[in-house]
Structures are given as C-alpha cells and as structure tokens.
Amino acid sequence: MTMMAMTQQVATQESRTAALPEVPHPRRVAPKDARALSKAFFDRLAVLEEGTAEYQDVRNTLIEMNMSLVRYAAGRFRSRGADEMEDIVQVGMIGLIKAIDRFELTREVEFTTFAVPYIIGEIKRFFRDTSWAVHVPRRLQEARVELARATEELRTRLGRTPTVKELATLMNLSEDEVIEARLASNGYNSSSLDATINSDSDDGEAALAHFIGAEDPAMELVEDFHALAPLLAELDDRDRQIIHMRFVEELTQSQIGERLGCSQMHVSRLLSRTLKRLREGMLTTR
C-alpha cells in the first residue's frame, strides 16, 4: 500500500470515528441540510455494529432527517384524498427505511436519488395490493390501465365510445382479452350492500341488498334433510333399501320388485307405508 493510500485510509477512519454533529430535532432539518448531514451519518453507520444502541440512534436520526423525501413522494398522490394520504405516508416510510438499510456511500450516488424510487415503489405496491375490491391477476390489472388509455384515445379520435374490435386492434389484443379486461375492471371498485339507493318505496331510499340476489328455495330443504336423517336411520334394512332404490337409484316399482323377488303391488304397499311413517315423523319433528 502506498503512503498516499495509507494516509487516505487513516483520514477516512478518523472521519468515521469523529463525533457526529448534534441534531436535536431531526424532523425539522431542511432537505438541503439533510443531504449534507446524511453523508456523515451514513459514514458512521457503516462502522457501527448492527443492533447496538448507537447504531439504532444513528439509523433513527437518518430516518427522521429524510422524512421530507416521503412527503415529497407522497405529494404525487395527493389526489387520493386526505383520508388515504396518511396511509400513503406510512407506506412511504417503509420504502425510506428499506433505502437507508441498503444504501452505501460507495455507490457514488446521492441518497435522495437512491431513496425516492424505493419510496414510490412501496407506495405503488400498496395501491396495487389494496385498491382492488376483489383479487384480480396482475396481467388483468395492467390490461385495465391499458384499456382505459386506449378507450380515452379512441373516444377522443372517433368522437364516440369505441367498440371492442377497435380497442382490440389498438391494444394488439384479441377481442376476448379486451372483454376480459373490461370484466376485470369491475373488481376495482365495490359498493357496500348497506349503501342506500333511490327506490319507489315511501321512504325514498333502500339498501342495495334489497335489490340484488334472491332466496334459494333449496335452503328450505336443508332443515328437512336434517329432520329426515334420523328417521331413515330408524327404518329396517328392507324399507331403507326400497327408499334408496326408488329415490336414489330412481328405479320403478316393478324394477324394485324384480330385485326383491316380490310383486310390484307389494312394493307399492311397502313404499306407501314407509313414506307415511316418514311424513308423520317429519311433521312431529317440525
């Protein structure tokens, strides 16, 4: 090692062990000052043992000094509304922390240049994972965005709503893929079943749930099945076998008689007697 290289190494080590400047209120540091101070704090962080109290103090100071980067990145999404803005800032902080943990001064790039893509990337990931009311595959999420752009472009050009065929040609997709993207866009927003809508009732409004769906008639059979099961279990083997052949295998009375070796009339009497017993049992249970 040359004398010059040794001198530079000693100077670097001395700068890393020198006392850091006092920053009593890291969150109040101006962005311009934060850039200069961050270099010194990153320099110290590189020689500290991760997990120590001093390491955590230096890391926390870096986080607080650079919170302005999160506010700057979050400002791009201000149209989302005040309620959602708080979530955006919180998610952006995750990106800032990831950037601090992965940044190295040897990259020869400003920390701000390095950190902003991390912050914005984390915010975009948040929107991608939470903005859809139902789960939609990534390819369809991207197709929805492309579909919106193509629709707007053709509407401006044609002066009307474009057809599926016209959209397919512009987007270089099949018509089925365009239709699929349209259906996927329905998963982007949802309405509560308790949402009120106009109605013809005296009250003037009613819940959305009152206008969609219908009662399933088969649901009434569930209770009957539960009541019937123990009654079937009480039948003897022959009567239970006749019920099974008639209503499960759907055999005629003559076919059942052939299997049992008796007449169709005898099967009819046995079947009528068993059904009467089951019917009375069901009425009693109800």
What domain range includes position 107? 11-130
**4 within a domain of the structure (yes/no):** no
* Averaged pLDDT for residues 180-189: 66
- Provide the whole-model pTM: 0.43
Q: List, in sequence order, every residue forming a beta bridge with 197; answer none if it has no partner.
A: 206
Query: Given 113, 130, 147, which residue is the final one in a domain?
Result: 130
Domain co-membership, 109 together with 142: no
pLDDT digits (tens, 9 = 90+) for 117-157: 989 988 888 877 655 444 556 666 677 778 888 888 888 88
Instruction: Inform me whether the pLDDT recorded for 68 exceeds 50.
Output: yes
Q: Do 45 and 59 meet the contact criterion of CB atoms below 8 Å apart?
A: yes
Query: Given 98, 130, 162, which residue is the final one in a domain?
Result: 130
Domain tally for the chain? Answer: 3
pLDDT in the model for residue 215: 58
Q: What is the CATH number of the domain that holds 38?
A: 1.10.1740.10
**154 within a domain of the structure (yes/no):** yes
pLDDT digits (tens, 9 = 90+) for 214-257: 555 656 666 677 778 888 888 899 999 999 999 888 899 999 99
Domain co-membership, 248 together with 267: yes
CA distances from 34 to 62, 111, 239, 277 (A): 8, 10, 88, 88
CA distances from 138 to 132, 141, 181, 184 (A): 11, 5, 11, 10
pLDDT in the model for residue 194: 56
Instruction: Inform me whether the pLDDT recorded for 273 exceeds 70.
Output: yes
**Which of 18-32, 59-73, 176-190 shows the highest mean pLDDT?**
59-73
pLDDT digits (tens, 9 = 90+) for 1-60: 444 443 344 344 444 445 788 888 888 888 888 888 989 999 998 898 888 999 999 999
Angle at 111 between CA 108 and CA 113, to 5 degrees: 90
pLDDT in the model for residue 6: 38
Query: Given 105, 130, 155, which residue is the final one in a domain?
Result: 130
**3 within a domain of the structure (yes/no):** no
